[in-house]
């Protein structure tokens, strides 16, 4: 696969996914992704994107300002 933005090579990696919900900030560490070795852009497959959405939605009701979660612990 090639990067959508720069056409660089993609490889399996992990990244930190950050979502600013205005009332709180949700940070999910160690989220699996494919990442461009040239520009650093990260891409999630459908399953990971769905799981990240679930994690973020659960965090909305559980936190007031900042939530930092580990992807592996939340999907196990």
For residue 65, the model assigns a pLDDT of: 82
What predicted TM-score, i.e. pTM, was given to this entire model? 0.85
Handedness of CA 48, 46, 11, 27 (dihedral sign): negative
Q: Read off the pLDDT band of 14 (50, 70, 90).
A: very high
Q: What is the CATH number of the domain that holds 44?
A: 3.10.20
Q: How far apart are CA 7 and CA 48, in angstroms?
A: 22
For residue 18, the model assigns a pLDDT of: 97
pLDDT tens for residues 20-70? 988 889 999 999 999 999 999 999 999 999 999 999 998 888 766 888 889
Are the C-beta atoms of residues 13 and 42 closer than 8 Å to each other? yes
Q: How far apart are CA 48 and CA 6, in angstroms?
A: 23
Q: Which residues are registered as beta bridge partners of 20?
A: 25
For residue 67, the model assigns a pLDDT of: 83
Q: What residues make up the domain containing 39?
A: 10-75
Number of domains the chain contains: 1
């Amino acid at each position: 696969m090639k990067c959508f933005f720069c056409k660089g090579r993609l490889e399996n990696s992990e990244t930190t996914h950050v979502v600013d919900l205005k009332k709180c900030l949700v940070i999910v560490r160690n989220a699996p992704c494919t990442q461009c070795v040239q520009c650093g852009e990260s891409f999630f497959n459908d399953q990971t994107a769905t799981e990240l959405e679930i994690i973020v939605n659960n965090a909305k009701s559980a936190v007031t300002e900042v939530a930092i979660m580990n992807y592996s612990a939340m999907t196990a």
